[in-house]
Amino acid sequence: MRIAMIGTGYVGLVSGACFMKFGVDVVCVDKDESKIEALKSGEVPIYEPGLDALVAEGLTSGRLTVTTNLAEAVDGADIVFIAVGTPSRRGDGHADLSFVYAAAEEIAHSLTGYTVVVMKSTVPVGTGQEVDRIIRKMRPDLEFDVVSNPEFLREGSAIEDFMRPDRVVIGTDSARAQEIMKTLYRPLYLLETPILFTKRETAELIKYATNAFLATKVTFINEIADLCDQVGANVSDVARGIGLDGRIGRKFLHAGPGYGGSCFPKDTLALARTAREAGVPVSIVESVIVANGNRKKAMAERIIAACGGCIDGKTLAVLGVTFKPNTDDMRESPSLDIIPALQQAGARVRAYDPEGMVEAGPLLPDVEWCEGAYETMEGSEAVVIITEWNEFRLLDLERVKSLLQRPLLIDLRNIYDPSEMVAAGFAYYSIGRPEDSDAVVTEVMV
Ligand SMILES: NC(=O)c1ccc[n+]([C@@H]2O[C@H](COP(=O)([O-])OP(=O)(O)OC[C@H]3O[C@@H](n4cnc5c(N)ncnc54)[C@H](O)[C@@H]3O)[C@@H](O)[C@H]2O)c1
């Protein structure tokens, strides 16, 4: 089997490399020449744990190739995946489908025999039908099917997520396309991964409903955290207490500075837009969008309050700027709201991120970038943890104290224990865990 992957970004490159591992021949296509040149010289243009080795294995064996030549890649492929970006359209929140439609037109020019065209990009309900229409109009003679196969991988654990997904969703009415998709995903079927065959529209909506639900869960616990701060409860214990309820589940209950990233912000907006157009507004999702936006903006005020109400002329050390750890992705990261607001309030910001500084540089132009966590702290008033990279979880607290002007740690990811921090002599601020709110007994086995 041979597949072509159009779009070699976070999803396209990971999916392409993983399909190669399934034993399929994969050609990854991107119109960005610098990306393809980098890949050809053995350099993976994004940071994703384990991806370098997988791509190197594919390139060396010849089972994974990369090119800018879409026509060549598509010619003779059994399956052509579309994995291009679908960012928010400026102004109205709708998904910008211009890359998808452009790719569909390019593909239509080059298809030869029967081909399954698979939408991997996250696209609003009805997009598959439109892509079908575009290709059919250009190539009325051609045999093909357009299938929806949304991707659920998370940046930072993308390979594991792809190789061991909770489920695979395939939306198509065509028995012929279904058989080909079954063959492709056979390695996962053998691992007893649930493979859900649905209508194309249903598959498209499953992706948006998933992301909107997860964004809602995050926003819910964030609001509960604010309530904890006011009433002396501890949000980590609340999250554990509700998460142990099998109907709720433990995941996505970590209070923090608000969700960011390449998916939740744009996908919630797009779903709200689709629902409004369909005359059935999703008011919960609309509230989530507003609450999350307000939260990200309010974070700087919290930091300023923790610093005593004024940061004018002060230096702050920021640890982590990417939207989450184990990625270099800066899209919609809370740091993009927080850091400029701190600077506007007069602070000098020194920052360090293990993988995100190249991406972040142009987006946060007035930051002083440092080589490591401790270097950011030299002469700083306080440390602010925005992203919970592992290397920030076990800082040498005595060293931190010796470097700071005063021992003040503002932890927007709740990675330290409040009582331990107080015992270590720190003024410590976290999210939804006010002083004295620690659990006395966290777990009792009977
Ligand atoms: N990033 C994630 O974690 C994630 C997870 C699940 C789903 N998705 C969805 O997957 C899609 C892709 O996301 P991403 O983060 O990989 O985007 P990305 O921006 O990292 O990559 C998209 C790539 O497509 C290329 N491209 C655009 N038009 C092209 C064309 N006509 N021909 C060839 N290449 C073209 C771009 O140059 C870019 O390299 C989006 O719809 C996104 O919502 C993303």
Buried b / exposed e across 365-376, counting CB within 10 Å, b at 16+?
A: eebebbeebbeb
Q: Does the pLDDT of residue 444 top 80, yes or no?
A: no
Best of 5, 8, 11, 148 for a ligand 1 pocket test (most atoms within 8 Å of beta carbon): 11
Q: What angle do CA 278, 247, 156 make, to 5 degrees?
A: 75
438: confidence class by pLDDT, cuts 50, 70, 90: confident
Region 191-218: what's the mean pLDDT? 98
User: What is the rounded average pLDDT for all residues in the chain?
Assistant: 96
Q: What percent of the chain has pLDDT over 90?
A: 96
Which atom of ligand 1 has the smallest separation from the CA of 29? 33
Q: Yes or no: say if 417 and 438 are a contact pair by the CB < 8 Å rule.
A: yes
pLDDT digits (tens, 9 = 90+) for 13-51: 999 999 999 999 999 999 999 999 999 999 999 999 999
Rounded to the nearest angstrom, the distance between the alpha carbon of 12 and the centre of ligand 1 is: 7
- Going by pLDDT thresholds of 50, 70 and 90, the confidence category of residue 441 is low
Beta strands in 329-398 (DSSP E): 348-352, 368-369, 382-385
| pLDDT tens string 104-120 | 999 999 999 999 999 99
Tell me the pLDDT tens digit for each residue of 51-94. Answer: 999 999 999 999 999 999 999 999 999 999 999 999 998 878 89
pLDDT digits 0-9 by tens, 215-224: 999 999 999 9
CA of 63 to the centre of ligand 1 (A): 22
* Residue found under tokens 């109009």: 137
Rounded mean pLDDT, 356-367: 97
DSSP state letters, 266-331: HHHHHHHHHHHHTT---HHHHHHHHHHHHHHHHHHHHHHHHTTS--TT-EEEEE--SSSTT----T
Q: What is the mean pLDDT of residues 97-102?
A: 98
Residues with CB under 6 A from ligand 1: 6-12, 29-32, 35, 70, 83-86, 99, 102-103, 106, 121-122, 151, 153, 155, 262-263
Q: What integer is the mean pLDDT of 175-200? A: 97
pLDDT at site 436? 74
Write out pLDDT tens, residues 145-172.
999 999 999 999 999 999 999 999 999 9
Residue nearest to ligand 1 atom 4, measured at CA: 11
